[in-house]
Structure 1
Amino acid sequence: MADLVKVLYGGKRFGNHVDEVWPHLFVGDTSAANERYRLWKLGITHVVNAAHGGMHCQGSRDFYGSSVDYYGVPADDSPSFDLARYFFPTAEYIQSALDAAHARVLVHCAAGVSRSASLVLAYMMIHHHHSLLGAINKVKERRWIFPNRGFLKQLRALENKLHQT
């Protein structure tokens, strides 16, 4: 765990409101998610809100309209929150979206560094067979992320589970 935290502390500690971290897969914050014009310019067709129902992340199907498919994950950015129960369903949603022609997916939370990053890391581990460290390094090429320690432990458990099969 200490090695993962060391890697996460490295690199730039600032970023854009939204960054493409994998082909057609973006991680962003609330500011990016709330700017429909920016999303339209980026060609975003699907939004995963990893802070669904949160005070500043109140996106919904109604907010985005019929041009953007919406998926809400009501996660708290707390080390004790069980984000792992959303790893596979969210990864399936992202992959299904990316399988469609011209799809572009935004995964966001409040700051775009913990909840959304954790779900994207899980996606990369599940569908692209990255190790946790490999997924972190790949995302960090494009965006500074910092999943909380509880999410890191859950991602480590996911890695162990994936390598058992």
Structure 2
Amino acid sequence: MAMNQIPGHNIYIGGIFCLKNKTALAKADITHVLSVLRLNPSEETFASFQHLSIDADDVEDENLLEHFPAAIKFIQAGLDSGGGLLVHCAMGKSRSATMCIAYMMHKQPGALTPQTALDIIRQSRPLCEPNEGFMRQLELYHEMGCPDDVTENPIYQRWLYHRDVEESVACGRAPELKSVRFEDELPVQPTPNDTGRSVEIKCRKCRRTLATTPFIIDHEKHERGPQRYAKQPTSTECAHVFLHPLKWMRPSLFPGSVQEGSDPDADSTYDEYSVDAPLSGRLACPNSGCGANIGKFAWQGMQCSCGGWVVPAIGLAKARVDIANRVNPAARGSGGPPAMGIRLPPGMRSSEVGESGSGRGNL
């Protein structure tokens, strides 16, 4: 199929064979060519063009996201030169469309989403259809705010961490300690929501603080999980609060990486990988004088009692922790109630936290 121009842009999308149509390239005044495929034609083909090649396969686990900034910069340079720009892959369907969508969102981050940008491209080239993995990467890029750099973005780093976990689990082992993101060790801490309400979770037995709002993971109820693990939800209420990995969890997640009797919260050096690291197991309270069983983890994921699927899953059992809803009057105005911790009765916990937006109401 011939190359097609994106409406409103001097950008063309095509497959590899459109490079042979010298008449069409000259008519469109193509000066820059972006190739997004693993096997490229010889460089002689691009002798009369400014050329950027990105080696990538059209498979869902290909990391195109890391190449968005370089591709966007090249596309913009081509347009600024006054000529036309061709973005091509093998068929002009998935990889090339993904790069064009990323560029369009970067130019209009508040106006376009991956789907709306794709709809614009399909006006002239209906066959464009990025694979599901690329669409997810575009959604992540949109969630980041379409930045000039993605590698230092926490959303991107967390996505890479999940990829490492998936690869390890596929090989039948737990991930390496060096690849796990312990969220409370990051230089930039996640911030609570701006409603003035937050959640604090403590061990019911010893009252040791285990987690707060920024480290709680939302999940959708009845979200479909892998068929081999799927089961009917046993309850509409969640039995666990799911968390991002935190440094106090090291002795449970990587039992061979922490010296006996050491403080898991203290700054120290840990082995990068423990051959005994289990795929799943129990979480123990980090208080050395307590050690109560407070939850469980499964790197391969598990289905919540509500039917939602969480991967990887690190969950605190609600029956073994106390959950307090806190209010910050500064965030709610001078007329708000005084700041205080509220220990909720068991029957009120999920509804209170659901109102706060912390995530537990959706767990």
> So what's the TM-score if we normalise by structure 1?
0.80
Quickly say closer, same or farther: Cα 1:49–1:142, change in 2 above 3 A.
same
| Aligned-pair CA distance for 1:134 | 1.7
Show CA shifts across 1:99-125 (max 9, x none): 122x10000000000000000000001
Match of 1:133 among 115, 134, 137: 115
**Structure 1 counterpart of 2:137, one-letter code:** Q
- C-alpha separation in 2, matches of 1:89 and 1:127: 14
| Aligned-pair CA distance for 1:132 | 1.4
Structure 1 residue 38 and structure 2 residue 36: aligned? no
- 1:72 equivalent in structure 2: 53
Show CA shifts across 1:10-64 (max 9, x none): xxxxxx421001421000001102333331222111100111x41xx4253x322
More helix by share: 1
**Structure 2 counterpart of 1:83, one-letter code:** L
Quickly say closer, same or farther: Cα 1:59–1:119, change in 2 above 3 A.
farther
Given that 2:60 and 2:134 are in contact with CA atoms closer than 8 Å, whether structure 1 keeps it comes out as yes
Quickly say closer, same or farther: Cα 1:151–1:100, change in 2 above 3 A.
same
**Structure 1 counterpart of 2:119, one-letter code:** N
Given that 2:105 and 2:146 are in contact with CA atoms closer than 8 Å, whether structure 1 keeps it comes out as no
Aligned length: 144
- 1:149 equivalent in structure 2: 132
- C-alpha separation in 1, matches of 2:146 and 2:79: 24
Given that 2:106 and 2:146 are in contact with CA atoms closer than 8 Å, whether structure 1 keeps it comes out as no
Match of 2:15 among 29, 32, 40: 29
- C-alpha separation in 2, matches of 1:163 and 1:41: 32
Moved over 3 A (4+): none
More strand by share: 2
Larger relative contact order (C-alpha < 8 A, sep ≥ 6)? 1
Mean alpha-carbon deviation: is it higher for 152-161 or for 123-132?
A: 123-132
Given that 2:36 and 2:88 are in contact with CA atoms closer than 8 Å, whether structure 1 keeps it comes out as yes
- Unaligned runs of 5+ residues in structure 2 are 148-152, 154-363
- C-alpha separation in 2, matches of 1:99 and 1:82: 27
- C-alpha separation in 1, matches of 2:24 and 2:77: 23
**Structure 2 counterpart of 1:29, one-letter code:** G
> So what's the TM-score if we normalise by structure 2?
0.38
Over the matched positions of the two proteins, sequence identity in percent amounts to 27
Q: Root-mean-square deviation (CA), in Å?
A: 1.9
Mean alpha-carbon deviation: is it higher for 129-138 or for 113-122?
A: 129-138
Quickly say closer, same or farther: Cα 1:75–1:114, change in 2 above 3 A.
same
